[in-house]
Amino acid sequence: MRVAFIGIGNMGRPMAANIAKQGHELYLFDANPAAAASAARASGATVLGSLAEISVAEVIVTMLPDGHVVREVALGEQGFAATAKPGTIVLDMSSSQPLLTRDLGAALARRQITLIDAPVSGGVARAVAGTLTIMIGGDDAAALAKVRPLLACMGGSFFEVGKLGAGHAAKALNNVVAAANFAVLADALRVADRYGLDRALLVDILNVSTGQSFISTVVMKQAVLPETYDTGFALGLLAKDANMAAELSQALGCASPHIELTGRRWAEARDELGGSADHSRAILAWAKNS
């Protein structure tokens, strides 16, 4: 299959590499040409000089910061929709806003381009291993059947969650739960410090008790307690995902005070440390401002 992959960041690079490993004809594009060139040398892919060359692809994969960027890359003045062939399938694997995804899907459909949303969870390590969890939304069963082998290059768990945009909704809700868990665990560690409890011991207790989670077993143990703060996931991205869930709940008329509070807390940490900081450093910002 001829695949164009747009967005060669921490997640996009290993995801694209796994597509190439399975023998697909891979083309790369990134706003940073050096990132695309480096990934191409490592994977044997071809670098696209511009999005105008996208017509070589049967499938376009986007792994970009959010739905606004995806829309600009697709429909902007230099967007790929102008040159993509009718029948092209777009897999948006970014963490995009669900309602924006619906609108983009309708706009692309008018050009005979099919959009499927397929955001991922699992972090860089699972992106490298090709075992990501992928949440899939779409309205075209035939298009989904065509790209399943491609998704299998990158993921190990697959959930078809509904119509177009449903995958992005599921991803936002997953991430806001993780963000809330991190925030409350950060509070718990500060209380433990103040009382005189050993924070590492408290995390060990949580990990064999009802407070156990991915945050306690992986993020706290591997990045926060050893003070390496090196999960590879940017604070700005998690703040964006938490806010995305809050915006979705508001748009749907849902009362979700915990989601809204989580969005505010992560926005505070982002404003304090900058969006490019590792998300595990949020605990430092909250401790400073407590």
Token pair 């994969």 is at which residue? 61
Q: Is 171 noted as a catalytic residue in this protein?
A: yes
Report DSSP letters for 82-98, one per residue.
GTSPTT-EEEE-S---H
Distance of CA 60 to the CA centre of its chain: 17
Quote the tokens at residue 183: 């925030």
Quote the tokens at residue 204: 């060990």
- List 171, 221, 240, 288, catalytic entry: 171
**Are the CB atoms for 123 and 233 separated by under 8 Å?**
yes
Distance of CA 70 to the CA centre of its chain: 12
CA distance 17 to 19: 5
CB atoms within 10 A of CB 220: 25
Any idea which residues carry the catalytic annotation? 171
